A and B are shown apart, each in its own frame.
Chain A
Amino acid sequence: MLLSDILVYGLMNGAVYAMLAIGFSLIFGSARIINLAHTAFFMLASYAVFYFGSNLGLSPFLSIPVSIILVVLIGVFVYYVFMEPIREHETAVLIVTVAIALVFQEAVLIIFGGHYRGVSSIISGYISPFGIRISYQYLLTLGVVSLALLTVWLLLMKTRLGIAIRSSAQDREVANLMGMNVARIAAATMAISVALAAVAGVMVAPLYTLEPHMWLNPLVLVLAIVILGGLGSVKGSFIGAMILAFIEVTVVFLLPGGAFLKVAIALAIMLVILIVRPEGLFGVYLEGER
């Protein structure tokens, strides 16, 4: 009973976290950018689908792709204009990403106001397999997220671009020496990374409450996951996401009065793991760099 609850809810939350974390990890691997605006793209996508779907009344089949494309375009634009040119100044890039996230947040705040918004589910209702209620939207999200993760995995493993991304993640200098256009690979990675965040954003928009600061909490989690799994490792991000999601769900079920501690406890466990393995579970050790 309790075990099946933990399994089902852990898997559902883990899938969404994995989406966000993998995107973050990809761009760090490829361009060595800690993109703190990553979850802000997630927020933008949620608002885009709210705008196109609920305000303009477009059907989900139209509003979802339009939102994703729009957010990816914004992402690539931002990358070319603000991040690429100052990539060598790592600290400056870090703050630039914070500033970008703030710009998005404030723009959304001005356009949509600070009200809490909701987006209608694509299919409403729920099923209850083993006595656990799961809404269709959650199942759909799980399906789409799995599909997206599979696509990215195939892309990374089987295509030339994927190999290039992975090799530049492993060693940027050598990849450059082998004749790869590292800058262009980084831009492509940025597009994939933002697309992942956008897909997560449009899918969970009906599950979450939209508000302009909704990027902050997931950001902390994503950072914890990525660190736990090892920076730059897609596999690590996936496993890290699952671990943190299961910890969170377990905390809620075993310690309902302390449910608000779930993030703090997840972070504490991340720290313990880090002390044992300073490069995360599957991290590439960045000794030679800088």
Chain B
Amino acid sequence: MNDGWNIVVCVKQVPDADDVTIDPDTGTLNRSGAPAVLNRPDHNAVESALALRESVGGTVTAITMGPPPAKAVLQTAVGVGADGGVLLTDRAFGGSDTWPTSLALARAAAELDADVVICGEESTDSSTGQVPPGIAAHNGWSQLTYVESLDPQPEDGVLVGKRDVEGGYERVAAELPVVVAMEFGANRPRPAGLHRKIFAETEFEPVEWSASDLGIEDRVGLANSPTKVGGMDTATPVERERIRVESVDELYEYIAEVR
């Protein structure tokens, strides 16, 4: 452990949540107008990865799965300080739900000989939060989810995480390799350095791996996804009275009435 840890950070490109709209007539999602951005919770994951590298030494490698334009989120990670990036891209991945997605990321993390894999809490587009435990489960590694802060103890080969739990917190020491899901907002992500940002956008080229490079070409994609979307409905809006009152006395009258 003298030469530090291999730290892998998983990032995802998502449509900017603020710009996704629902077509009121068809009930379908209109994502075309939404610019693609780095999933917001992943900024906390990248920051944790960089801070961990500062603490124990080693390297930070960003990985993402997606079509070629997803390279942009690797550039974002490299721009703030990741050492390199891997793009998992292949038509075979199309239609993957969390099971094959976490398999692909797990294989890539194993290929990178990861000691620590850091993810964001969940993605803003599908918000399952299942990929980090999925990566850990596929590889039989330990996991720390809902992590507020990390305390590496390289001399013991463990990573201690302070986890948010219902009603409080716990501190858990996890054996390496470990998969971490950082809580959204757990830290303040650093800005990109100008030179690094220019490098990321002009010179950096990610390593590209296909499903067959990972030996999982027949285990990913829609066909290997257990869950299927059976339908999409617009949420039924709740009808409210929308009465605007002018004074607290008037408001009190209404409250007294309903109590």
A binds B: no
